[in-house]
Amino acid sequence: MKNYTFTSESVSEGHPDKICDRISDTLLDAFLQRDPEARTAIETVATTNRVILVGEVSSEFSPLPDEIEDLIRMTVKEIGYEQDGFHWKNLKIENYLHAQSPDIAMGVKASATKDEGAGDQGIMFGYACSDTKALMPAPLYYAHKILRHLSEGRARGDFPTLGPDSKSQISIKYENDKPMGCTAIVLSTQHDASLTQDDVRAIVTPVIESVLPKGWMCPLDKLYVNPTGRFVIGGPDGDAGLTGRKIIVDTYGGASAHGGGAFSGKDPSKVDRSAAYMARYIAKNIVAAGLAEKCVLQLSYAIGRADPTSLYLNTFETGKVDEEKLLRILPELVNLTPRGIRTHLNLNRPIYARTAAYGHFGRTPDEDGGFSWETCDLVNELTSYFGHSVKYA
């Protein structure tokens, strides 16, 4: 269909699952800071005044239990939790991390006879489209942006009566496959008991209007703010959290396929994370180069093997060049082995805690190498090869 309505959601850094993602990635960064070759698969569980760590680690660096506890408390404090049922000072922390399985490790490690292999089988997707300047789907892009503005305002002290736990959901009408405006918006945010539903609506409506393009605001009777009427108890005290449960929020909001693997807590040797970043990098550069209006790329791997088992590309009949030719040249432009991906995107660095909320994609690359997969440095090679001019980069 060319004319349709599509909906995506986002959740804030104070959502229970996102707290867990942030803790897992904060600990990953701590390992990579001291051991760039560290291997981690850290899962976090959070509930009322309790955080539980499970998973596997292989590293030359072994932090003391007190260091891990301090990092967890610091993370929860930065997010803003000082409520009776979830307070950074009062958390009970249980640590069940253990060594990585040697059966997995032998498949990943390089040797004299083989390159570093993938840590598991799996499929990974990357996607880009011309909806927004970030080359992300509009519903997810604006769902993230609204919550980020609320979070930044809360951090500045602009919204002292709002809490850290919030969710957004945006429905956008498309005409001829182009986003035209919002048909409905849902926003739920934790708040002080003193606020009414109308009070919360008065706080968040100007923020929503400031974020959306002019003329995109939905009818006010389709703006649903705290639809149950009350959202005082939030975070893990209201709903348990777990690492890796918001994979659609993390990627493309349902506008593209997802391989199924979560990202947070996993070091970049794991293709669940690194190959998904590479697939986005390639898809974004293809769209940025003006070779297509939208593009999805799939990579697949076998445990212990370096080269991908398949490579798939689809430009949804928006491509300006031959897809088969484009697919053939991609392995010439980038090394798609796990080691090649980590090297090309320079992923063995402590850059992951910042990815844990508001999406892993569509972000601005940081000077220290964060979000390196969002750079458009393949555009010149692509445009040179096909003779096209740059459209979006």
**Which amino acids are annotated as binding site for ATP, given as ranges?**
15, 165-167, 230-231, 239, 245-246, 262, 266
Beta bridge partners of 83: 86
The torsion angles phi and psi of 162, rounded to 5 degrees, stand at -100, 150
Q: Which residues are annotated as a binding site for L-methionine?
A: 56, 100, 239, 270
Rounded distance between C-alpha atoms, residue 226 and residue 231, angstroms: 7
Q: Which residues are annotated as a binding site?
A: 15, 17, 43, 56, 100, 165-167, 230-231, 239, 245-246, 262, 266, 270
Which residue matches tokens 């959202």? 231
CA angle 52, 262, 335 (to 5 degrees): 130
Helix (H) or strand (E) holding 332, with range, is helix 323-333
Q: Would you list the DSSP string of 54-96?
A: EEEEE-S----HHHHHHHHHHHHHHHT-EETTEETTT-EEEEE
The torsion angles phi and psi of 76, rounded to 5 degrees, stand at -65, -40
Cβ atoms 9, 137 nearer than 8 A: no
Beta bridge partners of 54: 43, 96
Helix (H) or strand (E) holding 125, with range, is strand 122-129
- Catalytic residue numbers read 15, 17-18, 43, 56, 167, 231, 239-240, 245-246, 266, 270, 272
Other Cβ atoms closer than 10 A to 8: 24
Other Cβ atoms closer than 10 A to 84: 10
Nearest to 12 by CA among 4, 24, 22, 3: 22
Nearest to 286 by CA among 249, 252, 253, 334: 334
Q: Which residues are annotated as a binding site for Mg(2+)?
A: 17
- Could you tell me what percentage of the chain is helix, strand and coil, using 3-state DSSP and rounding each to the nearest 5? 35, 25, 40
Q: Which residues are annotated as a binding site for K(+)?
A: 43
